[in-house]
Amino acid sequence: MSGRIPDEVIEDIRQKSDIVEVVSRYISLEKRGRNYVALCPFHQEKTPSFNINPEKQIFHCFGCGVGGEVFKFLMLMEGLSFPEAVRLQGAKVGVVIPEQLSPRDLARRSKQQRALQIYALARDFYRALLSRDVGAKAVEYLAGRNLSETVRETFQLGYAPEGWDNLTKFLTAKGISVDELVKLGLAQSKAPGRCYDRFRNRIIFPIWDPQGRVVGFGGRTMGDDLPKYLNSPEGEYFNKGQLLYGLHLARRGIREQGYAVLMEGYVDVVSTYQHGVTNAVASLGTAFTREQGKLLMNYTHQVVIAYDSDSAGVKAAVRAAEILQELGGQVRIATIPEGKDPDEFIQKYGQPGWADVIKNAVSLIQFKLLQAVKQYGLREKKKILLEVLPNLAAVASPLELEEAIQQTATVLQVNWETVLAEVKKFKRNSRKTTPVWDKTVKNSHNIPSNANPAPKDARSNAETGLLRLALEHQDIVNRIEAELGREFFQNPDYQVIFSAILELGAQVSAARLFDKLKEPQQKVLSELLVQEIPGENLDQIFNDLVSTIKRASGKARLEELLMQLAVAEKAGNTERVLRLRQEINFNIMKSEGPERGVAT
């Protein structure tokens, strides 16, 4: 827990940072004109769409839409909070960040540090026992699972021995109270002031937060005892729905390979890591959560789900895929042959076999088609189609939709026109009523949401141009306000950005805007900032853009008045008809001259 970092210190670090240097620590850059380009580290691509503008000290990817300034880049690459990113970069540029902690913050930080120290002591206790005689049975079990000593050390595996109070005695002897052990989930209460160890006769897997700090444990039996897996209880520092096992080790592999593999359990991650799969994380069970999805999206938007091949695993894989796609992820689902889990499969077939599993992973639609065919058989074409219709209707890209429809038609052995007609029918019905299917499938499949933007009309283009000018020239901001007011943008993101510009006034800068805006508007801002302003005559450009917006506003007002006139005429409201005709005439003459109008 850190106190608030003073604004002037943040700005000092920002001024001393060069985004080109920061980004180049992680990826290779190529200079093109005044900017730099690279393959995006946040999604998989073959053609560079990741742009860095050294003049404005920003980055933007035209492929996945992510963008921001130097601290945002570090937050995404390292999975850090904003203060953590500032502190990391501050250390790089030699800026000392003063501590400004309230008494409450100091108490909270002290409590957290003590909890982390206790977790670390417990981890060291379990690890030490694994290498002693008492842990011989556990070592034999791990060797039987073909887990080497090297991988055991990498994942800091340990052993909780039989007996009721081995860890409790060890920690209380170091001055740690029974109450603390119970609150941290290391022991369970027996009676006031007395407790017993939560983990007994189990292989211990430490569970870390994204920064690599132990915040809980998972214990696995070595026999048929139930439950087979036992996690730390939910608490102040451990919430399995907000953590991904092995993420702190997988971050580099995810960056280097451009995608993450999502598995179910610890053993899958540990075993596959030993065989060279360094980009895998586990969801600590099948109940993948939106919070876990958001955490994973901090590192990559490309995910392959490799859950167990049993029925529970298949259902969980579909749920996880839909959550990730709702969050903007580009997801494929792998089917592990022979009904095996990742651990069993890679033990038998090694890295080459695993590479084939990843290569053969399919989109959500393809996966659901295959599962539906297994469930219903090819004769039940209607039932199979119903399984994938919501997903087909949600595909944003015309090219991808065409491919998905062709795949569906091939599987069902029908004409593609038949499938297309059903998709159109489903869309029409969906507009009338709220769909009963999971709303997570509304996002595009395997294509970022901004990959196929709708064509812009003249007003939309004019709004984009005006906001682009406002971002560069403070005097134009005042002229825009004088001509059009403070709230005229139809694009809600543009309006939020323009309002922030007005609020910052003379202090406006790209960095300060990023600080004020939320994630959706940050993406829009970064895309705007990397665009060039066409032409050199700013006055002419400004006047043309304002005229376009005024004409569009006048046209929209005229259409509204004509609709009101039709209603008034139908109702026989003579007084209102006359008043509306006068206003219509005024609007027409103002926009097109006095020779046109409506007869009164």
Domain count, the chain: 5
Structure tokens at 306: 């490799």
Which tens digit of pLDDT belongs to each residue from 347-376? 999 999 999 999 999 988 899 998 899 889
pLDDT averaged over every residue in the chain: 85
571 and 482 in one domain?
A: yes
| 262 contacts 245 by C-beta, under 8 angstroms | no
Q: Is residue 442 part of a domain?
A: no
| 438 contacts 498 by C-beta, under 8 angstroms | no
Q: In this structure, what CATH number is given to the domain that contains residue 512? A: 1.10.860.10
DSSP 390-413: HHHHH---HHHHHHHHHHHHHHHT
Residue 44's domain comprises: 7-93
The conformation of residue 362, written as its DSSP 8-state character, comes to B
Task: Tell which residue, 344, 250, 341, 337, has the closest CA to residue 299.
Answer: 250
Strand 194-197 versus strand 67-68 pairing type: unpaired
373 and 411 in one domain?
A: yes
Which tens digit of pLDDT belongs to each residue from 36-55? 999 988 877 788 999 999 98
In this prediction, residue 397 has a pLDDT band, given cuts at 50, 70 and 90, of low
Which tens digit of pLDDT belongs to each residue from 424-479? 888 888 765 433 333 333 333 333 334 344 445 788 888 898 998 888 888 889 89
Which of 585 and 541 is assigned the larger pLDDT? 541
Cα separation, 8 vs 311, whole angstroms: 56
Q: Is residue 371 part of a domain?
A: yes
Q: Crossing angle for the helix pair 416-432 and 398-412, nearest 10 degrees? A: 120
Q: What average pLDDT does the segment 475-492 reach? A: 88
Residue type, 31: K
Which tens digit of pLDDT belongs to each residue from 7-21? 888 888 998 999 999
Planar angle of CA 577, 582, 584, nearest 5 degrees: 90
Burial label for 331, CB within 10 Å (0-12, 13-18, 19+), is buried
Q: What are phi and psi of 28, to 5 degrees?
A: -80, 135
Structure tokens at 233: 């209880």
Locate tokens 């199979």: which residue? 384
Which tens digit of pLDDT belongs to each residue from 133-178? 999 999 999 999 999 999 999 999 999 999 999 999 999 999 999 9
CA distances to 34, 86, 198, 332 from 226, in Å: 62, 46, 14, 33
Cα separation, 365 vs 558, whole angstroms: 45
Residue 243: the pLDDT is 94
Q: In this structure, what CATH number is given to the domain that contains residue 313? A: 3.40.1360.10
What's the predicted TM-score (pTM) here? 0.66
Residue 435: the pLDDT is 34
Q: Is residue 260 part of a domain?
A: yes
378 and 334 in one domain?
A: no
CA distances to 479, 528, 543 from 499, in Å: 14, 16, 21
Residue 588: the pLDDT is 66
Residue 494 neighbours by CB under 8 Å, 6+ apart? 463, 464, 467, 524
Which tens digit of pLDDT belongs to each residue from 538-573? 888 888 888 888 887 777 666 677 777 788 778 888
478 and 381 in one domain?
A: no
Cα separation, 99 vs 463, whole angstroms: 43
356 and 341 in one domain?
A: yes
Last residue of a domain, one of 66, 93, 120: 93
Residue 557: the pLDDT is 67
Strand 194-197 versus strand 302-305 pairing type: unpaired
Cα separation, 312 vs 264, whole angstroms: 11
| Per-residue pLDDT at 253 exceeds 80 | yes
Residue 455: the pLDDT is 46
| Per-residue pLDDT at 587 exceeds 70 | no
| 553 contacts 565 by C-beta, under 8 angstroms | no
Residue 594: the pLDDT is 41
Helix (H/G/I), strand (E/B), else coil: 506: helix
Last residue of a domain, one of 340, 360, 380: 360
